[in-house]
Structure 1
């Protein structure tokens, strides 16, 4: 069975990461969560006071310190899933908080940030056998990927999923705040100048608003088999 590159793009809080992780584990591929990479850069900026009093990123300051940011993924032996590390420290929980969610689209829109992370992502996938999810994997990072999926769901459904995820972790969560954040991120991601979120011409669209996790897994495995067998 030939190895391929699988690109999973789509809107925020669609469950792309869960789908990609499960597929990678099932078929023995490497999984890379590119959203976690942008969230890690955002966390670095927050920790180093790189947002002004109006909540805007101080881009020049971040650009001058990009070389200090090292992002890696290390497999958690208990869960069998990769976790995100920023400069050697596990930040998987911190990067999922609303403080980061509310600012990540702003950071991800910066050309120098995208350039640096896209180069890393392309190096990760040069030997194929990889599942990568994000906003521009099928359009910018791997335009020649053998399997491209574009995932979408209604904003209400995505906000509810995010709300339940945060509550399950014991974090404070406000549904209306999350819904507004989802809508804002959709707008910013779709309208940014560098690599805007869009469905690649050869991507297969999946609306998972009313699908169970099991149904998604089967759908994705069927698409994988079509491309590899």
Structure 2
């Protein structure tokens, strides 16, 4: 899907938001729920990771907020068949590197970057519906979403999951370093002034520490089904 597309009026498409900290599994859950419902999916974190990648590749000062915002506004990106294309290059795996994730957490704290990406995220709200995951989907981007999920898990569980995920991809990782990085990211995400990571007042919190992916997906689908006809 091209980010600039807006074929359907936003108020015609329902949205399920899934927010939560890094490595809580929200991306996997969002995609599974979207596939089940036949809806679109938005991995908002990918947009911040792409901005971080653009900053890194541009050679810009990593502390230059205005430059990062300018790059965010000009992102040449497409999502196609599960792949993330940046300037026609498949960067699906490149944006998942830990260095990019850490830089993305930094640039995501800047209000001008968040403002630059806000409209682009809302462009994904197309019929028949959207499942959007991130950190402020239910609080800032889609505050009128009829179902909001806050997906959490203990930080040590999240570190173990990320460690296994990286190892499965053949990427070397140190569990202690991952745990430290996650704690640092949590602190940045929860403590930032603009759009901090927090559950929306009307969100349903699901702790996935001891739940499998299928169990969480079924909980989300059951919550949606319980709403009845829109």
TM-score normalised by L of structure 1:
0.90
Q: Is residue 34 of structure 1 aligned with residue 40 of structure 2?
A: no
Contact kept? 2:65, 2:112, Cα under 8 Å: no
| Correspondence for 2:5 | none
Instruction: List alignment gaps of at least 5 residues for structure 1.
Output: 76-81
| Correspondence for 1:78 | none
Instruction: List alignment gaps of at least 5 residues for structure 2.
Output: 1-11
In the alignment, the residues of structure 2 paired with residue 14 and residue 172 of structure 1 have an alpha-carbon distance, to the nearest angstrom, of 20
RMSD: 1.6
Count the aligned residue pairs: 218
| Correspondence for 2:75 | 69
Contact kept? 1:73, 1:83, Cα under 8 Å: yes
| Correspondence for 1:200 | 200
Q: Is residue 8 of structure 1 aligned with residue 14 of structure 2?
A: no
Q: Shift of residue 228 of structure 1?
A: 4.3
Contact kept? 2:138, 2:200, Cα under 8 Å: yes
Matches for 1:1-229 after TM superposition, within 5 Å: 4-51=14-61, 56-75=62-81, 82-125=82-125, 127=127, 129-229=129-229
Deviations 1:10-31 (A, max 9, x none): 1110000000000101110000
Q: Per the alignment, in what secondary structure is the counterpart of residue 124 of structure 1?
A: coil
Deviations 1:92-142 (A, max 9, x none): 101111111222110111111111111111122154600000000000000
In the alignment, the residues of structure 1 paired with residue 115 and residue 18 of structure 2 have an alpha-carbon distance, to the nearest angstrom, of 19
Deviations 1:136-158 (A, max 9, x none): 00000000001100010000000
